[in-house]
Chain A
Amino acid sequence: MAGNFELLSEQGLRLDGRRPHELRHIKCKLGVFEQPDGSAYMEQGNTKVLAAVYGPHQAKGMKTETNDVIINCQYSQATFATAERKNRPRGDRKSLEFKMYLEQALSAAIKSELYPRSQIDIYVEVLQADGANYAVALNAATLALIDAGICLNEFIVACTASLSKSSIPLTDISHTEEVSGGPMLTVAALPNAQKIAFLEMSERFHIDHLETVIETAMAGCREIRDILEAAVREHLLHIGSAADWARVG
């Protein structure tokens, strides 16, 4: 599979038939579980993620010393998420890395001053992995936080981008594109504030290309934000209609 694939055909289509700037098909749903305080399900193409949020609740033990909110994430991948079954669903290096990255990105979005000495637990489970797992996990976590009613500065969304051999940037990288050897860049951003909360690169980009690739990922973030926002509004209308909120919308 390695290396020699051209990510973008001469007819301007990617391996799965998308054009360079197109995102994969996104589906999402808030409030999928009753037990947690907030939950969400998100599909981005074939990458499917569940997120659940508990809290804010009182932080336990030693952690109460600090005044800040404690954000605790757990990232895990279902054993059946990839073509080859994986033995350790969590606790491996990749999962721990993603957990840290999630905490880092989310702490930039949550209005921490509102939750002193509290803890927020976020559990993310990747049910099916097909590229850009971290980005989809973060997007699902955002929805779950909103569902839980936790105050955010704004939507925090992540998107990936890559570069074809002809130096055309590509948005939202699928698994096939990932393993075909293209470089990958992941950005988690606060789109309205134009702030980047987190950025990761799988390999080095040349300085000439970096800016356009980041810009592409940011554009992807804005697009995802719009989709998520529409989903949240829809969801609110839906649960609100029981309480006669429908006329508000």
Chain B
Amino acid sequence: MQTLREFTRKTKRGNILKIVREHYLRDDIGCGSDLCKYCFQNEVYQLTSKHEIASSLFKFPHYLVLDTNVVLDQIDVLEEDVLHNVIVLTTVLNEVKHKSSSIYKRFNEIIHDRTRNFYVFVNEHHKDTYADRDPGETANDRNDRAIRMATKWYDTHLETSQSSKEFERSGMANTRVVLLTDDAGNRAKAEAEGILVASASEYVKSLEDFPLLLDKLSHKTFDNEKQALPQYPAHLSMKQVLEGLRLKKLLQGSFQASRENYLEGSVNVETYEKGILIQGRECLNRAVDGDLVAVELLPESEWSAPSEIVLEEKNVYADDVPSEERTEEEKDMLKQVQQAAAAASAERTPTGRIVGIVRRKWRQYCGILQPSLIENTNRHIFVPADRKIPRIRIETRQAAKLQNQRIIVTIDTWPRNSRYPQGHFVRSLGPLGDMATENEVILLEHDVPHCKFSEEVLSFLPKLPWSITAEDYAKRVDLRELDICSVDPPGCTDIDDALHCRELPNGNFEVGVHIADVSHFIRPGNALDKEAAARGTTVYLVGKRIDMVPELLSSNLCSLVGGVERFAFSCVWEVDKEANVIDKRFHKSVIKSKRAMTYEEAQVLIDDATQQSEIAKSLRHLNRLAKILKKRRMDNGALVLASPEIRFQVDSETHEPLEVEAKQMRETNSMVEEFMLLANITVAEHIAAEFTECAVLRRHPKPPPTNFDPLVKAARYQGFQVDTETGLVLSHSLDKCVKEDNPYFNTMIRILTTRCMMQAVYFISGSLQKEEFFHYGLAAPIYTHFTSPIRRYSDIMVHRLLAASIGADSTYAQLLERKSNEELCHNLNYRHKMAQYAARASVGLNTHLFFRGKEEDEEGYVLFVRKNALQVLIPKYGLEGTLYLKTDKDGKDGVERTKSEVIFTFNEEDHTQRCGNVVFHSFDPVSVRLSLDSSNVQHEKLVFRLVKPYIKGFSVEPSTDADIPPTKKTKKDTKKKN
């Protein structure tokens, strides 16, 4: 079974080490074909004669061998369920893994799909296909040779199996093996060796049954393209980049495109706190958001400042050669900025230009196809939904069909002579403007796993009808008699926490927090658990919830609904009248919530003195204790932060937003919050003490002082001093930021503070020092998440740890392993961040929908003053938008006026905009008119126009006439009045 021929392989690394490794070659690796009679086959045949594909190039049954470049470039073609009977060589697999982990992941998924008949052949360990590296041969050449060798071997191997008389009599055509490679050199060599070979595009074109597959082909060059002049400087080669980095001439960092200005971006480099500014198309040099790039710092005399200009790219057409005019315009902008920067040298930041790309971070992008001016052309421009991504040129034959659809496109290459990167169409998501499609876009853009739960996952759900057994009662503490109730937002179906409070004979109180016992249903290691861990969190979009666990659990068995017996994990304290914790205990329990209330109902119950039910009494006690807890927390330096949050009332049929309201904060919200915090902190202390190495905790790092710069600056303009030394000092100075005439001022300051904060993250107790466990926002030395296991996986982990520590459940290997827990935390942090962004994007989308065909005047506040615009916040909608002060000649917002009429002057010193006798400061109240600009169906946007303070020729007239329906016509009417 085991041939012990020993081979050695020598590699060099670092300061030239010779590394010798054993390499065993085997004779027990099967070829995986059902034609073969010789091989030792240890699994089901993957290569079968069932799937035959009609190719005009190879008119006989054949298996495919893919070269690495085909897998890397044509993964979208491979993902289509067209190609079958593919031999995947480990040489190729390793190269793919090395070059791109994301493609490797996708490729692996194809391989695992048994219906696709992809067979992994371990050619590197097969005695006949192992290629030893010849002296002087590059690794690349050796791999190519190994691939050819394996292809050749397969071909002859199958030949011998098919040369028998028996086979000839069956009358089947001989199956051959075809190598697909996009490397011309490799193709030539293969042909010389007598191997059937084709390039990927030749082969795909020869598949007559699948003409649309051609769209998905990645193009390195577009056919019959006229060779335009290079528009970008060439990138340095990898070798030059590495050399430059080593000599510290170049700096490496990840590139972040600016959301506001398409000609600006920054590179985050470790040694520069704020990153290196990149301005202008040529300096950006084809970097796409997220790429790892090499930057060269410009001499200090050429340093510039962030432009503070909001610049959006205008529509261009596919065959449009960049006109002189536009280039001029760009230059203008640059010049302006540089002059401005020269004036205000204090603002200047390190500026650089990108000279090379270390690693591309291209992914798939959602967006829309821009209508082409020329009919029947295959070439189109794709506009990504994400503003940080440039437009992409693609080739498609189904443009008419895709015109009003959301589609996905990926980038293939960005040659020097092309203004935009070139890519190819991947798939369509659905019609534009359709709620389902738009949600799909949001989910995809934020990498939220949202497919249906698989059968395997569902198979681990408890069988219905589910009931509590006597055994369960025996294991758990029976709390069914207690007056437990839950308080949640209206319409909440995944209730994961409930509370109770009762007076003890000694005058103290017993307070209990009861959390849904999800870990009882989700057992470690099964498919359900793995799926939940991968999802990490439930994602809330407007009118839609993407569950972390199947609905049966989230809304039924785990949810602590009123009047039903449910399993809970209870954390019970004995506290005295001053809310000092005297004793605590944890146990699993059976509870029966007496009532599931909304915050409002609970508030009414507390306020109504005539209510003397047990629940009302216990709520009053809880409320009183919560206030003490909150005060104590504030005194410790916990921050009160604010972010504009809103709720949409959604039409149940059309899923379109009907009404918008800002989220209200009641006393009961804060009451529930306080006890959840207390539970989380208590549990965190417990598990950190029990599991010093592997407890899942949550920390919130103190932001670096520079993070506070925008806040301190903004407050200073208003004559307030904000101290950011410690949380306590900051909290005090925020309290002092009150303006009599502007009641919203304090909230806005807090909104700004929130933006200075770092992300709170999950971590493993063993990975950090105790001092670093600190949660800055809550001013708690230790914290974790325990209270929402239905919607967060971290809480499930904490439940398991807690259960193990009190002997309610057994441990398992993964739970106690630091490394796997660390990976898990990493994923959870990522999912959490993405879930937040997705929720925000969904709110934004619905705001758009809400304003469709509407026009409204709203009170708002200036958040920032920019050079050509004001950032305005509308508290009512939690909406932030840009009010352009200088308009382009084209009249982008549809209102024609000339520059001479109104002139705004920007004051660098105190960040104000002045026009006549009207001055805009940060935080000034303004009144703006909101409307949706639907002139471009593809890219709708909200337009802000000034109403108050009134500036003649700039502001729109306040709409006095209520009779005029708020449609687009109004806009013209008001204009005429002017």
Contacts and interface: CB of A to CB of B under 8 A. Distances in A.
B6 interface: yes
Contacts of A208: 812-813
Contacts of A181: 819
B90 A16 contact: no
Contact of A176 (B21, B120, B813): B21
Nearest to A210: B813
A83 B18 contact: yes
B20 interface: yes
Given A3-B819, A22-B2, A83-B17, A16 B813 contact: no
Interface residues of A, number: 26
Interface string B788-825: 00000000000000000000000111001101000000
A10 B119 CA distance: 12
A174 interface: yes
B219 interface: no
Contact of B24 (A3, A16, A206): A16
Given A130-B22, A209-B813, A13 B122 contact: yes
A139 B835 CA distance: 56
Contacts of A204: 816
A16 B21 contact: yes
B113 to A, nearest CB: 14
Contacts, number: 55
Contact of B816 (A22, A45, A206): A206
Nearest to A183: B817
Contacts of B817: 206
Nearest to B111: A10
B125 interface: yes
A18 interface: yes
Interface string A147-188: 000000000000000000001000000101000010000000
Contacts of A83: 17-20
B606 interface: no
A95 interface: no
Interface string A24-62: 110000000000000000000110000000000000000
A230 B478 CA distance: 66
A87 interface: no
B124 A206 contact: no
A25 B21 contact: no
Given A174-B22, A176-B21, A11 B811 contact: no
Given A16-B23, A17-B26, A167 B17 contact: no
A65 interface: no
A84 interface: yes
B25 A11 contact: no
A74 B20 CA distance: 27
A206 B813 contact: yes
A204 B22 CA distance: 28
Contacts of B124: 17
Contact of B4 (A25, A46, A176, A209): A25
Nearest to B120: A11
Nearest to B815: A206
A119 B2 CA distance: 42
Nearest to A22: B2
A212 B22 CA distance: 26
B803 to A, nearest CB: 16
Interface string B811-853: 1110011010000000000000000000000000000000000
Contacts of A24: 22
A86 B656 CA distance: 72
B693 to A, nearest CB: 9
Among B22, B23, B122, B819, the most chain A Cβ lie within 10 Å of the Cβ of B22
Contacts of A17: 23-26, 122, 124-125
A25 B125 contact: no
A238 B797 CA distance: 63
Nearest to A208: B813
Given A17-B23, A45-B22, 14 more contacts: A11-B90, A11-B120, A13-B26, A17-B125, A22-B2, A25-B4, A25-B6, A25-B24, A83-B18, A130-B22, A167-B813, A174-B21, A204-B816, A209-B813
Closest CB pairs A-B (n = 3): A206-B813, A17-B24, A17-B125
5 contacts: A13-B125, A16-B24, A83-B17, A167-B813, A206-B817
Interface of B: 2, 4, 6, 17-26, 90, 120, 122, 124-125, 811-813, 816-817, 819
Interface of A: 3, 9-11, 13, 16-19, 22, 24-25, 45-46, 83-84, 130, 167, 174, 176, 181, 204-206, 208-209
